Amino acid sequence: MTAKTKNGTRRQVNGIESVHYDGYWIRYYEPPQDTLAAKKHLIDALTKRLFHHTEGGINTPGEKLDEARAAYEREQDPTRKRVNGAMLAGALFNRATDIFTMVVELEQKGVLISRQNELMRQCGDYFQEALELGKFVHHYSGQEGIDELWGEPLKAFLLPVSDFYDSRYLKISQAMRDIDQVTKQLEQTLCKEPAYAGLKPRFRELALEAKTVSETLRKDPVMFELWPHFVAAGEAVLDFVPKTKAGDIPRGRKDAGLRIIQEAKAIVGYLASARVPMAKSTTRFMARCEDYQEQYGKPGRKRSGRAA
């Protein structure tokens, strides 16, 4: 029996320095020095990425914190209160980064600020409160929250930079796992049907490109090569047309199959870009596949041919 590779093990994989986490080899990046300036740069990038992946309208400026809090506290309608909570979370994140920016600027001028300083405590408190309100924030797809991303700026603030990088590799491995689960479920649901035989290699190519994109920092120049491959693989999946004879597949079943393909492609794209697991979206996709199999029969079985 081959010994299990320990998390954090590093080696060259296909000529790329990689690190192992939970069964996946992930492109390795040397963490920067653990300084306040490095933390600020990291938190700025994480905050920008956070708002990129969430619903619109919640990137509230930090100076609007008091107004955002008052609006949240007075709102009574549950649906609207959720949105106000998301806007408050955005204001808290931006206020925290505003404070941290000031601390770094002071340090660069030779004024050292300790971790016990009131400004630093306020910064941590704002990040923590924003994390607690993160449950109100939806991914831009509207399918679920994106709690995994809301915790990252707080982690970057609290942890040494190297430890934060380790936590990111773990999340990337979990995103890769979800990509593989979606791919496997799609194959089990559709690809055993003769009409969808040509889909399997296309979607496997998309999954491979998605995992490669998920492990690569956006600022890495290699992204100019990787991203076009990823986009092209996704377009090839959406261009797929089941090979059928006239009347071979009822319209309802064909449309249902194409909807599954579109949803699978979308989820893989979300995972590759967010680089964190998305449990609700993945579970929802699995349930849709189960519904399809329940209605039209397991692959390989004789189907009734009834339309949706």
Q: Check residue 176 and give its pLDDT.
A: 97
Tokens 């999954």 -> residue:
207
Q: Check residue 51 and give its pLDDT.
A: 87
Tokens 């100076």 -> residue:
63
d(CA 106, CA 126): 20
Strands 10-13 and 24-27: unpaired
Q: Check residue 147 and give its pLDDT.
A: 67
In the chain, what's the furthest Cα-to-Cα distance? Answer: 77
Q: Are 253 and 307 in contact (CB under 8 A)?
A: yes
Q: Check residue 304 and give its pLDDT.
A: 40
Could you list the mean pLDDT of each consecutive 10-residue stretch along the chain, which spans 308 residues?
Answer: 79 95 96 87 86 89 96 96 94 91 84 81 90 85 70 84 92 96 95 89 97 94 96 96 72 88 95 90 92 77 38
Q: Check residue 297 and give its pLDDT.
A: 72
Q: Check residue 155 and give its pLDDT.
A: 85
Question: Which sequence spans correspond to the domains of the chain?
Answer: 36-158, 171-296
Q: Is the pTM of this model over 0.85?
A: no
